Structure 1
Amino acid sequence: MERKLLVTLSVILFSSVAADDYVRPEPRQALQFPWKQKSTSQPEQVHISLAGDKHMRVSWVTNDKSSPSFVEYGTSPGKYSFLGQGESTSYSYIFYRSGKIHHAVIGPLEPDTVYYYRCGGGGPEFHLKTPPAQFPITFAVAGDLGQTGWTKSTLDHIDQCRYEVHLLPGDLSYADYMQHKWDTFGELVQPLASVRPWMVTQGNHEKENIPYLVDEFVSYNSRWKMPYAESGSNSNLYYSFEVAGVHVIMLGSYTDYDRYSDQYNWLKGDLSKVDRERTPWLIALFHVPWYNSNDAHQNEGDGMMAEMEPLLYASGVDIVFTGHVHAYERTKRVNNGKSDPCGPVHITIGDGGNREGLARKYKDPSPEWSVFREASFGHGELQMVNSTHAHWTWHRNDDDEPTKSDEVWLTSLVNSGCWTEKKWNENLRKILMEP
Structure 2
Amino acid sequence: MEQKLIMMVVLLVLALATATATAFTAEYVRPPPRKTLHFPWNPKPSSHPQQVHVSFAGDKHIRVTWVTNDESSPSIVEYGISPKNYSFKAQGESTSYSYFLYSSGKIHHTVIGPLEDDTLYFYRCGEEDPEFQLKTPPSQFPITFAIAGDLGQTEWTKSTLDHIEQCKYDVHLLPGDLSYADYMQHKWDTFGDLVQPLASSRPWMVTQGNHEKENIPILKDGFISYNSRWKMPYEESGSSSNLYYSFEVAGVHTLMLGSYTDYDKYSDQYNWLKADLSKVDRERTPWLVVLFHVPWYNSNNAHQGEGDEMMAAMEPLLYAAGVDIVFAGHVHAYERSKRAYNGKSDPCGAVHITIGDGGNREGLAHKYREPEPEWSIFREASFGHGELMIMNSTHALWSWHRNDDDEQVRSDQVWLTSLIGSQCLSEKSREQRKILSEP
Same topology, TM > 0.5: yes
Counterpart for residue 53 of structure 1: 59
Q: CA deviation at 1:259?
A: 0.5
Secondary structure of the residue that 2:163 maps to in structure 1?
helix
Q: Deviations over 1:164-187 (max 9, x none)?
A: 000000000000000000000000
1:409 aligns with 2:425: no
1:129 aligns with 2:135: yes
Counterpart for residue 149 of structure 1: 155
1:271 aligns with 2:277: yes
Residues 21-420 of structure 1: matches in 2 within 5 Å? 21-420=27-426
Secondary structure of the residue that 1:231 maps to in structure 2?
coil
Secondary structure of the residue that 2:424 maps to in structure 1?
coil
Secondary structure of the residue that 1:299 maps to in structure 2?
coil
What one-letter code is carried by the residue in structure 1 that aligns with 2:92? Answer: G
Q: Deviations over 1:5-28 (max 9, x none)?
A: 744652553353132111000000
Q: Deviations over 1:133-152 (max 9, x none)?
A: 10000000000000000000
Of 414, 418, 433, the residue aligned with 1:429 is 433
Secondary structure of the residue that 1:413 maps to in structure 2?
coil
Rounded to whole Å, the distance in 2 between the matches of 1:141 and 1:419 is 27
Deviates more, 1:180-189 or 1:206-215: 206-215
Rounded to whole Å, the distance in 1 between the matches of 2:301 and 2:425 is 35
What one-letter code is carried by the residue in structure 1 that aligns with 2:211? Answer: H
Secondary structure of the residue that 1:431 maps to in structure 2?
helix
Rounded to whole Å, the distance in 2 between the matches of 1:418 and 1:163 is 30
What one-letter code is carried by the residue in structure 1 that aligns with 2:303? Answer: H
Rounded to whole Å, the distance in 2 between the matches of 1:113 and 1:430 is 41
Rounded to whole Å, the distance in 2 between the matches of 1:5 and 1:163 is 23
Q: TM-score by structure 2 length? A: 0.97
Q: Deviations over 1:304-327 (max 9, x none)?
A: 000000000000000000000000
Q: CA deviation at 1:36?
A: 1.2
Rounded to whole Å, the distance in 1 between the matches of 2:36 and 2:19 is 36
Rounded to whole Å, the distance in 1 between the matches of 2:423 and 2:21 is 27
Rounded to whole Å, the distance in 1 between the matches of 2:17 and 2:187 is 40
What one-letter code is carried by the residue in structure 1 that aligns with 2:318? Answer: L
What one-letter code is carried by the residue in structure 1 that aligns with 2:41? Answer: W
CA RMSD in angstroms comes to 1.2
Rounded to whole Å, the distance in 1 between the matches of 2:187 and 2:19 is 42
Q: Deviations over 1:222-244 (max 9, x none)?
A: 00000000000000000000000
- Paired positions, count: 433
Secondary structure of the residue that 2:152 maps to in structure 1?
coil
Rounded to whole Å, the distance in 1 between the matches of 2:383 and 2:138 is 29
What one-letter code is carried by the residue in structure 2 that aligns with 1:432? Answer: L
Rounded to whole Å, the distance in 1 between the matches of 2:376 and 2:422 is 21
What one-letter code is carried by the residue in structure 1 that aligns with 2:344? Answer: K
Q: CA deviation at 1:122?
A: 1.0
Q: CA deviation at 1:4?
A: 6.8
Paired-residue identity, %: 76
Q: Deviations over 1:158-205 (max 9, x none)?
A: 000000000000000000000000000000000000000000000000
Rounded to whole Å, the distance in 1 between the matches of 2:158 and 2:66 is 21
Q: Is the 8 A contact 1:55 1:107 kept in 2?
A: yes
Q: Deviations over 1:345-370 (max 9, x none)?
A: 00000000000000000001100000
Rounded to whole Å, the distance in 2 between the matches of 1:229 and 1:273 is 16
Q: Deviations over 1:274-326 (max 9, x none)?
A: 00000000000000000000000000000000000000000000000000000
